[in-house]
C-alpha cells in the first residue's frame, strides 16, 4: 500500500500534518481530529457549502470594491467561490455538524478551501499562503461571528424552498383526493364519537387547506432571516472591517442570491441574536404538529380491516407482522409521525440553545444549525414519501362509509330544528338502548311525517347549511 502523503501546516497550537491533496488546511484538520459527534458532515448539506461560498464571494467583491484586496487575489478567490457554488470541491468540507467554537471550524474550513483553490488558480501550490492567506485574504473584514450566522440564514432560506415545494405537492395530492371522494358520504366524528355526516372529499380538502396555511407561515418566518450582521466582525463593532463594508456586503449578497438581505441596524445586537432561528423552528414545529395529526387520522380511518373503521385503504407497503399472517400496517403514516416527533424535539433543543447565549455571542449556534437542517431535510423527505407512497394511492370504501351513516345515532342532530334538542335526546337514548334506527323511532312516535323526515335525514342535506323544512 502506498504511503499517504502529507504537507505540514501550522497554527497557534503548532504544526499538523494535512493530506497533501486536501484543499482544507490545519484548522480544518484539527476540527476533523476533535469532533466525532453526529457523524453528519458539512458536506452532507450542499446548500450549506453553497451558502457560505456566496457569503465569501460577496465579501471578496466588497473588499475589492473598497480597495482592500487587489485584482489578482480577488479574482482567484471569486473563481474559487463560484466553483463551490457550482457544486465542486464539496468533499473538502468534512467538519462534523456538532462542534465547539461557535462555528469557527466551519468558517476556517471554507477559508482554507477557497484560499488553496485560489492559490492553484494563480499558479501556486496548496499551502503557499504567502500568496493568498485564509485569514488575511479570504476572511478579510470578517469573523466567524458574522460569516457563520449569515451562511446559516442563507442555507435555511435555500432549504426552505425545497420544503415548500414538497409541502405544495402534498397539498395538491390531498386536493386531488378531495375531488375524487367528493360524493362519498361518511360520518364525521368528534372525540371519537359519532357526530354528523360529511363527505370524504370535505375531509381531504380540509387537510389541504390546513397545510396551505403552513406555506404562508413558513414564508412569513423565513423573511426574518434576511437581516444579517456581515461587517460586524467579532462582536458587532466592525473591528478590522473597512467603513462601508456591512451595507455593501449585504447589497452584494442580495445581488448574488436574489434574496433581499439587509444589514442589521445594530450589529452589536444582531451578532448574538438567535431569535430568527427560534421563530423559524417554531414554524417547522407547527407544520410537524399538523402533519402528525393528519397521519393519525389516516391511520384511524384505515383501521381494521374487519374490526376497525375501515373507511379508507392505505396502499400496502410491507408485511405487517413476523407472527400474524395477513397483517398490513400503515407504515408510511407511522414513519411520518416519527419524523414529526423529531422536529418537535429539535425545536426544544433550539429553544434551549438560543437561551444559552451569553453576552456578545451565542456559542450554541452549531446545535441550532444541526437541528434546523435535520428538521428541514427530514420533513421534506417524509412529506415526499407520504405523497408518493401513500396519499396518491388511497382508496375509499364507499359502501362501508354510507352504511355507518345510515346506522349512526349522530344523524339525530339534524332533527334539532324540528323536534327540539330534548326530544332528540330521548330519541337518541332509545335508539341506543334498543339498537333501533333513529328513523324508525321518529316515525313510530309520530314526531315528523315521513316526507319531512326523509328530507331532513338525507345525508346530502346535512353537508351544508340549509333552510329548515316547514
Catalytic site positions: 321
Please return the burial class of 70, using the count of CB atoms within 10 Å of its CB with bins 0-12, 13-18 and 19+: exposed
Q: How far apart are CA 57 and CA 256, in angstroms?
A: 9
* Sequence-distant (≥ 6) Cβ neighbours of residue 413 within 8 angstroms: 195, 196, 424
- Nearest C-alpha neighbor of 354 from the set 285, 275, 270: 275
User: Residue 23: how many CB atoms within 10 A of its CB?
Assistant: 23
Q: How far apart are CA 412 and CA 457, in angstroms?
A: 8
- Nearest C-alpha neighbor of 296 from the set 184, 170, 207: 207
Task: State the pairing for strand pair 193-199/227-228.
Answer: unpaired
Grid cell of 190 as nine digits: 368528534
Asked whether 174 and 205 are in contact (CB, 8 A), the reply is yes
Asked whether 356 and 102 are in contact (CB, 8 A), the reply is no
Q: How far apart are CA 377 and CA 76, in angstroms?
A: 33
Amino acid at each position: 500500500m502506498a504511503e499517504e502523503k502529507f504537507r505540514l501546516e501550522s497554527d497557534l497550537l503548532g504544526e499538523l500534518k494535512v493530506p497533501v491533496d486536501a484543499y482544507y488546511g490545519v484548522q480544518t484538520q484539527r476540527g476533523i481530529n476533535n469532533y466525532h459527534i453526529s457523524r453528519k458532515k458539512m458536506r452532507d448539506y450542499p446548500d450549506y457549502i453553497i451558502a457560505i461560498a456566496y457569503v465569501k464571494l460577496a465579501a471578496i467583491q466588497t473588499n475589492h470594491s473598497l480597495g482592500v484586496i487587489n485584482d489578482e487575489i480577488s479574482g482567484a478567490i471569486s473563481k474559487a467561490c463560484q466553483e463551490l457554488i457550482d457544486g465542486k470541491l464539496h468533499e473538502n468540507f468534512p467538519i462534523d455538524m456538532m462542534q465547539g467554537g461557535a462555528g469557527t471550524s466551519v468558517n476556517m474550513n471554507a477559508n482554507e478551501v477557497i484560499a488553496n483553490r485560489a492559490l492553484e488558480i494563480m499558479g501556486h501550490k496548496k499551502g503557499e499562503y504567502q500568496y493568498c492567506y485564509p485569514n488575511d485574504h479570504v476572511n478579510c473584514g470578517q469573523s466567524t461571528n458574522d460569516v457563520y450566522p449569515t451562511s446559516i440564514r442563507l442555507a435555511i432560506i435555500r432549504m426552505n424552498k425545497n420544503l415548500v415545494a414538497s409541502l405544495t405537492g402534498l397539498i395538491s395530492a390531498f386536493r386531488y383526493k378531495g375531488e375524487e371522494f367528493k360524493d362519498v358520504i361518511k360520518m364525521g366524528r368528534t372525540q371519537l364519537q359519532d357526530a354528523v355526516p360529511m363527505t370524504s372529499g370535505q375531509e381531504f380538502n380540509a387537510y389541504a387547506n390546513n397545510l396551505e396555511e403552513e406555506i404562508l407561515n413558513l414564508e412569513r418566518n423565513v423573511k426574518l432571516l434576511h437581516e444579517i450582521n456581515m461587517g460586524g466582525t467579532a462582536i458587532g463593532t466592525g473591528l478590522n472591517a473597512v467603513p462601508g463594508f456591512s451595507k455593501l456586503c449585504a447589497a452584494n449578497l442580495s445581488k448574488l442570491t436574489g434574496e433581499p438581505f439587509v444589514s442589521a441596524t445594530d450589529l452589536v445586537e444582531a451578532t448574538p441574536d438567535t431569535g430568527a432561528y427560534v421563530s423559524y423552528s417554531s414554524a417547522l414545529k407547527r407544520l410537524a404538529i399538523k402533519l402528525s395529526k393528519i397521519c393519525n387520522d389516516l391511520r384511524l380511518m384505515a383501521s381494521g380491516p374487519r374490526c376497525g373503521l375501515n373507511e379508507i385503504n392505505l396502499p400496502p407497503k410491507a408485511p405487517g407482522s413476523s407472527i400474524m399472517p395477513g397483517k398490513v400496517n400503515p407504515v408510511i403514516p407511522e414513519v411520518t409521525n416519527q419524523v414529526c416527533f423529531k422536529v418537535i424535539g429539535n425545536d426544544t433543543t433550539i429553544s434551549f440553545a438560543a437561551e444559552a447565549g451569553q453576552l456578545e455571542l451565542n456559542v450554541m449556534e452549531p446545535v441550532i444549525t444541526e437541528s434546523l437542517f435535520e428538521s428541514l431535510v427530514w420533513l421534506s423527505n417524509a412529506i415526499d414519501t407520504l405523497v408518493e407512497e401513500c396519499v396518491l394511492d388511497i382508496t375509499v370504501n364507499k359502501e362501508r362509509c354510507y352504511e355507518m351513516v345510515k346506522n349512526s345515532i349522530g344523524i339525530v342532530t339534524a332533527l334539532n330544528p324540528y323536534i327540539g334538542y330534548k326530544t332528540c335526546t330521548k330519541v337518541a337514548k332509545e335508539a341506543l338502548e334498543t339498537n333501533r334506527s333513529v328513523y324508525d323511532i321518529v316515525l313510530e312516535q309520530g314526531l315528523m311525517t315521513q316526507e319531512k323526515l326523509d328530507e331532513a335525514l338525507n345525508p346530502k342535506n346535512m353537508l351544508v347549511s340549509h333552510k329548515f323544512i316547514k
